[in-house]
């Protein structure tokens, strides 16, 4: 017995890159701030799985699927033998481990595809942009999160299996996936480390990362980078002129149609003032507000605001909607007092796309992040 090469370099690089991508995706799943990183991690996982499928055909000896083509019965038998401490040592993947790999690859593809569908529906980006409604995108998000949880559970089982087999056969399997070497006979060794293929894979990953995040390197305080740009929303000159004369012209997609109807009906007491609109302007603005209200769900923010407002309520302030309150409850009081903010109605202080009305997650920057 001597140290022999078992795992070629591309296989090891794939293994650790996939682990890192999944960890990054999991840790950034609930953060709007890190959405761009979460999306990149998802793309990376899909790209890595595509590589692994190819490498399972043209890779070295133990990277090929043919080397661990075990059926379910063989996997169950191996688990039973492991429980009794009699499992046979395998130089490559054992029968149970092979099914963990199949499962992880399948879940990675499923989670990645549902993530793209979520991105297309909720964010209107990616290959499915414009093909799904926000409601359907949200439904895929629920499925996406379930698949990610299943993948995490399988990762846990995989790690437990690695620990058990390492103890059973008195060898460090995690270390072997770093060095690529195990104890074995010369005839059992893999053909070569395949360094060039590994470097090509790494170069592709780095190039993809540079392309994804290049905007952050090129941004300036005057032109902050926006990784996600929302759809162009309907506009109206009369509405923008009249409403924008006193404050930011809040896009109608930020309140339900019933709220706009009430607001226009009570325009003589519009937050302590009278709008003084003539009948023609009133009719044109009201039509625009009703036709593009949150009920139409033109943006992710509109969809979530509409769903958050109970049917019997008619809020007149965007800040009174449950969704707005939920999204802003973690902002400290000193941020609201900052001269750059000054008011909860000053959306443009933090949202780079407030004037467009899209309120994309990646377009939100607190003043402190831009530098005082």
**pLDDT of res. 224:** 81
Backbone angles phi, psi at 129, to 5 degrees: -60, 130
How many CB atoms neighbour CB 175 within 10 A? 12
Tokens of 278: 């003539």
**pLDDT of res. 290:** 96
Q: Which residue has the tokens 């990616």?
A: 126
Q: What is the DSSP string of 25-42?
A: HHHTTT-STTHHHHHHHH
- Pinpoint the residues of the chain covered by CATH 1.20.950.20: 2-218
CA angle 311, 287, 236 (to 5 degrees): 120
Summarize the confidence of residues 206-224 as an average pLDDT: 88
Q: List, for residues 310-367, the tens digit of each pLDDT value.
A: 998 999 999 999 999 999 988 888 888 888 888 888 998 889 899 999 998 878 887 7
Q: List, for residues 147-166, the tens digit of each pLDDT value.
A: 999 999 999 999 999 999 99
Q: Are 360 and 230 in contact (CB under 8 A)?
A: yes
**pLDDT of res. 340:** 87
Summarize the confidence of residues 208-236 as an average pLDDT: 88
The radius of gyration of the chain's CA atoms, rounded to the nearest angstrom, is 28
CATH topology of domain 2-218: Fumarate Reductase Cytochrome B subunit (1.20.950)
Would you say residue 370 has pLDDT above 50? no
Q: List, for residues 223-264, the tens digit of each pLDDT value.
A: 888 888 888 899 999 999 999 988 899 999 999 999 999 999
Q: What is the mean pLDDT of the chain?
A: 92
pTM, full prediction: 0.84
Tokens of 185: 């006979």
Burial 297-330 (b: 16+ CB within 10 A, else e): bbbbbbbbbbebbeeeebbeebeebebbeebeee
**pLDDT of res. 368:** 59
Summarize the confidence of residues 255-281 as an average pLDDT: 92
Helix (H) or strand (E) holding 128: none
């Amino acid at each position: 017995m001597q140290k022999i090469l078992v795992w070629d370099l591309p296989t090891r690089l794939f293994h650790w890159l996939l682990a890192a991508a999944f960890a990054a995706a999991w840790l950034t799943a609930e953060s709007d701030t890190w959405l761009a990183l979460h999306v990149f991690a998802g793309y990376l996982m899909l790209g890595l799985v595509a590589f692994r499928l190819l490498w399972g055909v043209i890779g070295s000896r133990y990277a090929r699927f043919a080397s661990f083509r075990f059926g379910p019965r063989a996997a169950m038998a191996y688990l039973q033998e492991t429980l009794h401490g009699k499992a046979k040592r395998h130089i490559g993947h054992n029968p149970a481990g092979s099914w963990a790999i199949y499962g992880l690859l399948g879940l990675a593809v499923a989670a990645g595809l549902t993530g793209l569908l979520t991105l297309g529906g909720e964010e209107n980006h990616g290959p499915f942009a414009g093909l799904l409604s926000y409601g359907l995108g949200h439904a895929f998000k629920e499925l996406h999160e379930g698949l990610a949880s299943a993948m995490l559970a399988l990762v846990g089982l995989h790690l437990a299996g690695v620990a058990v087999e390492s103890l059973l056969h008195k060898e460090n399997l995690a270390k072997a996936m770093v060095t690529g070497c195990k104890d074995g006979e010369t005839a059992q060794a893999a053909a070569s480390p395949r360094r060039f293929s590994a470097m090509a894979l790494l170069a592709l990953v780095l190039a993809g990362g540079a392309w994804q995040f290049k905007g952050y390197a090129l941004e300036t305080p005057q032109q902050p980078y926006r990784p996600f740009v929302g759809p162009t929303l309907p506009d109206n000159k009369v509405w923008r002129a009249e409403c924008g004369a006193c404050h930011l012209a809040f896009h109608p997609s930020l309140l339900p149609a019933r709220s706009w109807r009430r607001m226009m009906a009570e325009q003589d007491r519009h937050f302590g003032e009278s709008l003084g609109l003539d009948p023609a302007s009133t009719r044109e603005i009201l039509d625009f507000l009703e036709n593009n209200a949150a009920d139409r769900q033109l943006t992710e923010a509109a969809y979530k605001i509409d769903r958050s407002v109970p049917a019997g309520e008619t809020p007149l302030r965007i800040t009174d909607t449950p969704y707005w309150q939920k999204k802003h409850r973690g902002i400290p009081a000193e941020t609201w007092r900052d001269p750059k903010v000054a008011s909860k109605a000053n959306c443009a202080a933090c949202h780079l796309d407030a004037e467009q009305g899209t309120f994309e997650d990646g377009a939100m920057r607190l003043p402190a992040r831009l530098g005082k």
